[in-house]
Amino acid sequence: MGYSYYSASASANQNTVTVVVTMNNNGITWDAGGVTFWAEVQGCSRQSISGVAIPYGQSISRTFSFSVGNSTSARKLWFKGGGGAIGSFGATEGSGNVYVPATPPSVTTPPIVTNQKAVLSGSTVTISWTNNGSGTSNPTGNYVDVKIDNDDWKNILNTKATSTTYTVSANHRYQFRINSYNSAGQSAHQTTNTIYTEPPAPSIVNANATILPTAGDVCFTIDNNNTNYPSKKNEWQYSTDKGSSWSTVQANEGTVVNHSSSNSSLNSFIMGLKHNSNARVRARTYNADNSRASTWSSAAAISTDAQPIAYVNIPAGAKIKAIYINKG
């Protein structure tokens, strides 16, 4: 003669235990209806399902789900499940233990980076920063972006480091930004200082000098229109030997250079232009933050207008037959 009995099995995730109760029908020659299945888990109320029909000769299962909450530690919980009597077969149950895994702490978005900076050396920029956050807010990596001139931001690196390098080219503006990320999301971007690279050499335009008997002046323009981010700061030098040697550097605010012989430091140079066709000037310009100077421009000759060294005042109405100039 066959018999019937109940068994129970369980599985779990971090906060739920699932119990499966099965009525094993072995050779029964009748149908049963209205049977109650039930299950329990440690710390939870019993659940039941009533009115379960048992078809002829078949095994039937019912599933129960129990919420057991979250815990940062793994747990071992007992469970059991069974059902009501069928005919002459009494109520039976199955039981066991189920292991519930620990629930990891909730991860939060990392804080913003700090101490971000960009340092230019030659054609290489070193970008560095400090990551913040620990435990659940610990960053797992950083994104580094670059913005060149007025272009859009472009990602250049996904790294776990806290510094990187980037190669730059002359006559541009560079900005860098960094943020942190983890599985919860990304922090806000933080932007470094702006980097201006070396400007191109300017050119000298309209270098002229006017020399009077006892005074004179020199004037020229520093053309830096090819500099994308110019400063007002410019510098120039003069040479009296076609550029074989150069004077000390002369500072100039703006692009127009205009000096007279009343400037004691330039008097000898300016007044000497009358008899010196070997005089030259050159200039260099600076980028927007005055951190980098261009190379010197090509040397430019000075066009000199030497005024006569003698003046004759002729009274009105006078009749002049001849003028004699005595050097003595």
Residue range(s) in the chain whose domain bears CATH number 2.60.40.10: 3-100, 114-196, 203-306
Query: Does pLDDT of 324 surpass 70?
Result: no
Highest mean pLDDT among 29-43, 210-224, 282-296, 305-319: 282-296
Q: What stretches of 13-135 adopt beta strand conformation (E)?
A: 16-26, 32-41, 47-54, 60-67, 75-83, 92-100, 114-121, 124-130
pLDDT the model gives residue 1: 35
The two structure tokens encoding residue 118: 């960009």
Please report, to the nearest 10 degrees, the dihedral formed by the alpha carbons of residues 158, 163, 168, 170 taken in order.
150
CATH of 3-100, one of 2.60.40.10, 1.10.530.10, 2.60.40.1120, 2.40.50.140: 2.60.40.10
CATH of 203-306, one of 2.30.110.10, 2.60.40.10, 3.40.640.10, 3.40.50.880: 2.60.40.10
For 43-77, give one letter per residue: b (16+ CB within 10 A) or e.
ebeebbeeebebeeeeebebebebebeeeeeebeb
pLDDT tens digits, 83-92 = 887 766 667 8
Q: Which residues pair with 234 in a beta bridge?
A: 252, 285
**pLDDT tens profile 185-220:** 999 999 999 999 999 999 999 999 998 888 899 999
- What ranges in the chain are assigned the alpha helix state H? 267-272
Q: Which residues contact 187 (CB under 8 A, 6 or more apart)?
A: 109, 110, 111, 112, 113, 139, 179, 180, 181
Query: What would the pLDDT profile of 99-122 be if each residue is shown by its tens digit?
Result: 999 988 889 999 999 999 999 999
Type of residue numbered 55 = P
Would you state the pLDDT for residue 58?
A: 79
Mean pLDDT of the chain: 90
CA distances (Å), origin 39, targets 54, 90, 148, 179, 234: 18, 17, 66, 51, 88
Tokens describing residue 216: 């004179």
pTM here is 0.68
CB atoms within 10 A of CB 163: 12
Q: Tell me, what's the pLDDT at 56? A: 75
Give the pLDDT confidence score for residue 213 in this predicted structure. Answer: 82
User: How high is the pLDDT of residue 296?
Assistant: 97
Burial of residue 228, with CB atoms counted within 10 A of its CB: 0-12 exposed, 13-18 middle, 19 or more buried = middle
Q: Is 114-196 in CATH node 2.60.40.60?
A: no
CA distance 15 to 136: 20
